Amino acid sequence: MITNLLVCNAQTPPVTHFSTKNFLPHNTVRSLHLSKNGVLWVGTDNGLVKKLNNKITTYFEEDGLPLNNIWAITEDANRDIWVGSYGNGIAHFDGSNFTIINTDEGLINNYITHLNVFGNFLYVGTSGGVSVINIAEKSVVASLNHEESSLMRISGFFEFNNTVFTTTYNTGIYKISNENDEYFLEKISDHKFIYDSERIGDSLFASNKGAVSVFAIPDLLNEQVPVGKKREGFPIIWDYAVTNDKTVYGAAWGVFEENGGLLKFSEDGNSYEKVHGVDSKNLVVLEYNPILELLYAGTLDNGLFQISINPMVQYYPSSHKKTIAIDYFNQNKISLYNDGVDIANKHYDASFFKQQEVAFVKANKNNLPKHEDFFYELNYDTPETDIIFYTIKKSQTHVWINTNIGLYKFRPNGAFESYLPLHTLEFDFTSDNNLIETNPYRGVRVYESEYPLRYRYYNEELPSTPTNIVGTFRRDSTTYFLSVFSGLFSYDKSFKSFLDTGIWKEKKLRHHAIFNDYVAIGNEFGDVFIVDFKKGFEIIKKIDRSEIKGNSILLLDSYKDWLIIVTEGGVLFYNDEKQIFINEDQGITKNIHAINVHNDVLYLGSDGGEYQVDMKNLVNSRNRINDLFVEQIKVNNTLYAYGKQPVVLNSKQNNLEISVSTNSHPYPNKLEFCYKMKDNSDWTKLDLPEINLSFLEPAKYNLRVRVNDTYTGQWFEKSVLEFTISPPFYEQWWFRLLVATAIVFVTSLYFNRKRKQHQIITAKEIATNKRIERLKAEALLARMNPHFIFNALNSIQHLVVIGENDKASAYLIKFSKLVRANLNNSSRTFISLKEELDYLRTYCEIENERHDNRITINFIVDPKIDIGDTEVPNLILQPFLENAFVHAFPNIIKNPTLSLTISQMHDNKLKCVISDNGIGSKKVSNPTQRSSKGISLIKERLHFLNYNLDSDLKIEHTESGTTVTLFL
């Protein structure tokens, strides 16, 4: 189906929502006030909130509020805050303490509805009249009510020509007069049922149910009763706000009707439209920040909304589920959706594409591309509801739309021209405008003719044939192909692989953008390469993924000297001088699927519509940061009273916590802080604008803070604090002289004592060496104890007696080898691991033969260990093996096993584990039986070799055996 488009300019401004999920203590917001220093005050049904950027402070009754439900907030000339509760009067807040004024101090009523400051007086509107308070004296000077019997509920104040007026719900409009310090009310209109009133220019807007009445304020000064102009069809408006461009907004709540919301009045004020994006129909209060151009809307049921009035980002919803691609052919816009396409103000839906396919197949039934000829499979039975629209591609003369049922060719004016039954995910054109079709599983075709299909086929097995293509672009006479597995390819009369030819080894390429005279190419991992193809191939610059906000790149484009990078976190605008980042703070809350820049506008196709970004305003954004200041200092975790005086701290006051802040900013999450303490030091990044300085050395410090505003790309730097930490007493000259004298005296004493100690140590060393030599002798005797020798010789004699001369000879050879090794190594402290293992194997064989070879012996050595080059203490393991043969294996042990495992640790130590499956702890009836003289000597040797017996030697006895672990 083809339809002509009616262009719709409806847009949704960026909206940020605050609720109890963020910082509000309650989702009913009754009052708002923007102070002169940019602080937003929020009155809720459960406390008062102070918000400056991301700095949030909340106050409750326990902090001094008269009640937690705050219905009115204002500010006097001293920048002190006044809050009104609904039930316990008002309170003055000087920044530290609240002072309550209620009916006990002369207030006419404790149920506050409005607060306004005019001159030196605070006018308090209540549910029962008006009170006037002298701000300087904090005292009630007048309490006023009408003489009628009905309740006088104040619905607003306004001033005109130095006269204060008040509107009421049910008794009319009054002038508040003051003669000789006497205040009184003068009714000037019987206009009733006013829910709220606001002076806008020289007009008074008075809200009624279903209407807004507009009065010319000069008429209120006449003696005759003024008549207002009534505008019907409005919901009940509870508050008004006027923006810099004089646009009037209203907060509407229908009470018993679902017709509320944020309203935007027409220029003549006679009609309105609802502003989308504010998820509530119960709006009761508005506040406008003219510097940041932000409108705040308080609701009764869903917290607070922040609306950007003049945003860089505009959102235009559409009836389509997804905008897949956006492009321009000359000045004709092309938008591809999930269910059709718009080309030059003509819309083609999925049914049109299906009709063209059906007609072509019917006319060319016997001449269709076949899957067996390596065409990418195309299902001609695909229903229109299952058509997938891939992308837009432009040749030199036409617009091409790629789908899963074929290629469609359109003229730039939107007229449909032809259909090709080709299924491809990525395609492009040669320099002479011929179609190049890629197949994700096969080769590539370059077409000489579209009707009939005439082409040259390039087999995928050729290394130069593009495979797994995910993107294409053209530069001069060359067409380039990005492969997610095989890198970059090009075509200019023939194909070439940059990976195969060694030109560029990068394999996993995904995205591209034409960037000035270069091409930006992004890989699968998030890096971006700026490539110059004019001189063949040259990488000008690599933008590392660490410089890009977001973990993965979704899309690339460019604007002048700015590279535009869309990630899952937002949109980054990057050049050599600065970076700008926009995301959900600026209203980009939906998934981005398409990108295009045209006539200084960035188009971002998304779910349900598209975003438009004014690129001129974006890249030329003014710096919104003009101040940096210290908000709070804590010294050693105690609040420090900081003023304009110099900060001088003693040497113990060297742990500081410094909170810094800026002037108010529309998007404080976009601010990145860093600091340095000295001019020649490096900048240190901060996660929060809070600087923790621990154990500072005595010195003079100059704390400089830099804030990078990623909303504008600008940065601001300032010295925010100079302070001094005085040196301790021990760094004073007199103390140093005293210390020097003491050092000379102590040194002389030290050397005298050292000489005496040296004599004592020398004597001890001699005694120790003698002890070591004695230990060596005892260890040698322990290694070849007489009991072992006797048993061995007895076994040899037994073999001779019974006629087993061969076995006796072999046994004797092993025994003599063991004795020879003992004699050769007795004088060496360390031997190679190979010698130690040879000795242990021979020893175990002799012992095992004495046990009728019934013990299974395993030696397991880590192959990574060079046993010939690794040294260990001489015969350090033998006593543990001997212990096992002597004690571990009585006849009750079936299948006895003895294992030695040696492995290398990460610190190059050897871990030696000797384990057996003997009787273990079951035989430990007397602990002395578990120790042998050999093991005692081993421990003493280890001690003299500087091993830690607590960590390097562990002996564990269990019911299933004994395990000795030794770290060498």
The per-residue pLDDT for 8 is: 46
In the chain, % of residues over pLDDT 70:
93
pLDDT category, 778, cuts 50, 70, 90?
low
Q: In degrees to the nearest 10, what's the CA dihedral of 213, 214, 218, 220?
A: 10
HSE of 387 in the Cβ direction (CA atoms, 13 Å)?
Answer: 29
pLDDT given for residue 227 in this prediction: 58
Alpha helix positions (H), 130-287: 217-220
- Please report the pLDDT score of residue 923 as a whole number: 58
* Beta-strand runs (E) in 364-517: 389-394, 399-403, 406-410, 416-420, 427-429, 435-438, 444-449, 454-458, 469-475, 478-483, 487-491, 495-497, 509-515
Q: What is the mean pLDDT of residues 297-317?
A: 94
Q: How far is CA 254 from CA 19, 300, 319, in A?
A: 22, 12, 29
Written as six digits, the tokens of 500 are 């195969």
Note whether 45 and 69 are within 8 A (CB): yes
pLDDT band at 786 (very low <50, low <70, confident <90, very high): low
Give the pair of three-digit tokens for residue 108: 């006419």
pLDDT band at 791 (very low <50, low <70, confident <90, very high): low
Question: What's the pLDDT score for residue 643?
Answer: 77
Sign (positive or negative) of CA dihedral 785, 786, 789, 795: negative
Looking at residue 920, its pLDDT comes to: 81
Cis peptide before 452 (omega within 30 of 0): yes
- What local confidence, expressed as pLDDT, does residue 873 receive? 86
Q: Quote the pTM value.
A: 0.71
Output the pLDDT for position 771: 64
CA distances (Å), origin 929, targets 13, 876, 898, 933, 941: 88, 21, 20, 11, 21
Closest CA to 908 of 872, 943, 865: 865
- Scan for tokens 């981005």, then name that residue: 592
Least confident of 342-346, 708-712, 777-781: 777-781
Asked if the model's pLDDT at residue 829 lies above 80, the reply is no
User: Which comes out higher in pLDDT, residue 122 or 923?
Assistant: 122
Three-state secondary structure of 955-966: EEEECCEEEEEE
Give residue 83's pLDDT. 98
Cα–Cα separations (whole angstroms), residue 95 to 5, 72, 687: 58, 17, 27
CA angle at 708 for the pair 704 and 710, rounded to the nearest 5°:
170
Q: What is the pLDDT of residues 324-380, one digit of tens each?
A: 999 999 999 999 999 999 999 999 999 999 999 999 999 998 889 988 889 999 999
Q: What is the pLDDT of residues 47-92, one digit of tens each?
A: 999 999 999 999 999 999 999 999 999 999 999 999 999 999 999 9
Note the Cα 349 to chain centre separation in Å: 40
Q: What angle, 0 to 180 degrees and rounded to 10, lies between the N-to-C axes of helices 833-850 and 786-801?
A: 50
The mean pLDDT of 620-637, rounded to a whole number, is 92
Helices of type H across 577-660: 615-619
Q: Tell me how far CA of residue 680 lies from CA of 252, 652, 677, in angstroms.
A: 57, 25, 9
Q: Give the tens place of pLDDT for each residue, 444-494.
A: 999 999 999 999 999 999 999 999 999 999 999 999 999 999 999 999 999
Joined together, the tokens standing for residue 212 give: 């807004």
**Is the confidence at residue 925, as pLDDT, over 50?**
no
Using pLDDT thresholds of 50, 70 and 90, give the confidence band for residue 819. confident
Res. 630 pLDDT band, cuts 50 70 90: very high
pLDDT attached to residue 7 = 46
Mean pLDDT of all residues in 534-558: 91
Look at 484-493, 726-735, 834-843, 890-899 and tell me which has the smallest mean pLDDT: 726-735
| pLDDT beyond 60 at 777 | no
Q: Measure the CA–CA gap between 331 and 834, rounded to whole angstroms.
A: 85
Q: SS3 for 793?
A: helix
| Residue 818 one-letter amino acid | L
Q: Which long-range contacts (CB under 8 A, 24 or more apart) does 562-569 make?
A: 562/615, 562/619, 563/513, 563/515, 563/520, 563/528, 563/530, 564/513, 564/595, 564/597, 564/602, 565/522, 565/528, 566/592, 566/595, 566/604
DSSP state of 507: -
Is pLDDT above 60 for 32?
Answer: yes
Relative orientation angle of helices 805-825 and 833-850, to the nearest 10 degrees: 140
Q: How far apart are CA 897 and CA 854, in angstroms?
A: 9
536 vs 281: which has the higher pLDDT: 281
Q: pLDDT for 96-142, tens place per residue?
A: 999 999 999 999 999 999 999 999 999 999 999 999 999 999 999 99
Confidence at residue 830, expressed as pLDDT on a 0 to 100 scale: 84
- In a 3-state reduction of DSSP, which class is residue 569? coil
- Describe the strand order of the beta sheet including 690-693 as a list of residue ranges: 638-640, 628-635, 656-662, 690-693
Res 58: pLDDT: 97
CA 907 vs. chain centroid, Å, equals: 37
What gap in Å lies between CA 461 and CA 490, rounded to an integer?
16
pLDDT at 167: 95
Q: For the ranges 8-22, 85-99, 400-414, 552-566, which has the lowest average pLDDT?
A: 8-22
Model pLDDT, residue 924: 47
Query: pLDDT value at position 807?
Result: 77
Please check the confidence at residue 865 and state whether its pLDDT lies above 80: yes
Flag whether pLDDT at 928 surpasses 50. Answer: no
- The bridge status of strand 647-649 relative to strand 714-725 is parallel
pLDDT at 464: 97
Question: Which residue is listed with tokens 């770290």?
Answer: 967
User: Which of 233, 312, 225 is closest to 266 using CA atoms?
Assistant: 233
Residue with tokens 């203490």: 873
